[in-house]
Amino acid sequence: MGLAAGRSRLPSCVSHAFLVVAGLFILASIPCEAQLSSSFYDNTCPNALTTIRKAIRTAVSRERRMAASLIRLHFHDCFVQGCDASILLDDYATIQSEKNAPNNNNSVRGYEVIDNVKSQVESICPGVVSCADILAVAARDASVAVGGPTWTLKLGRRDSTTSGLSQAAANLPTFRDGLDRLISLFSTKGLSTRDMVALSGSHTIGQARCITFRDRIYDNRTNIDAGFASTRRRRCPVDNGNGDDNLAALDLVTPNSFDNNYFKNLIQRKGLLQSDQVLFNGGSTDSIVTEYSKSPSNFRSDFAAAMVKMGDIEPLLGSAGEIRKYCNVIN
């Protein structure tokens, strides 16, 4: 009784304050998982996006084809060990460059544009903006530069210190792929069949080398328009090694404008690559191609959404990786 009487009690307000502080301490001790954010550079480099946009607009105005090249560069980066700018690394010491992968060598381009953008961004915000984020922003701004859709980008990716050359052959689609293979490849990256068809629509711009469509225009298949094949043969000789690098527009109708003509071409059996025409060849994606051919707005919105999803593939966040000073070498 005397012991109980000798106890002192804390006022309820003090007790409550103690619980609040204790709760905040517990929350602070829980690791905070880094996430991509559309406002990532708002405070650390507020002029980054404007700088990138101006540089990409200039690059595309000099060469319209560059828009397609920059979208493809981002795609080929994300499909090999995630969106980490590993595709930009040159051969060096322990680095075996992805640039030498069969699907990239003498095919993927735009590296010098990204290097130029990085130099401009470094001049205003040294060591802040990653090459991986520059690739993502460049792809979006390239789309806009040729009349394509825009989308809200989530940023905060960091750059890899490794290359994925050994993964490139297995993870990147090829011009010979069939529909099942394409669906499977995209599925492993968390992208749906609809995403795959929408992203394939980026072939509404850009060009392909003769070596990638020679078999299709000379094998007399029933799924190619005869007049289209004849036209394409003019600059793509039948013999291997002859004119391999001659270029042809993926969309013969509006090769420099981002529109839905790509899908109209497929319905007319005028897809340039085998991997294009398989999207409309009596398979499960015929209905999506038909929809996009009739509705440019559906294609544009789905393309934008799929690009956002693709940009989320296995990014390096927080303290993982690094922010490269130069995109082609690790620090």
Tell me the C-alpha distance between 26 and 31, whole Å.
10
φ, ψ at 222 (rounded to 5°): -80, -15
DSSP bridge pairs for 92: 95
Q: Which residues are catalytic?
A: 76
Instruction: Choose among 275, 294, 261: nearest CA to 146.
Output: 261
Alpha helices in the chain (DSSP H): 2-6, 12-29, 48-62, 65-78, 111-124, 131-145, 165-171, 179-188, 193-200, 210-218, 226-233, 261-267, 274-277, 286-294, 296-311
Residue 227 dihedral angles phi and psi, to the nearest 5°: -65, -40
DSSP string, 202-214: GGGS-EEEHHHHH
Cα distances (Å, whole numbers) of residue 89 to 30, 49, 173? 35, 23, 21
Reading the block at residue 268, the tokens are 């007319």
Which residues have a Cβ under 8 Å from the Cβ of 14 and sit 6 or more positions away?
none
- What DSSP line would sit under 164-191, residue for residue? -HHHHHHHS--TT--HHHHHHHHHHTT-
- Round to the nearest angstrom and report the end-to-end CA distance of the chain: 71
Calculate the CA 295 to chain-centre distance: 23
Distance, C-alpha 326 to centroid of its chain: 20
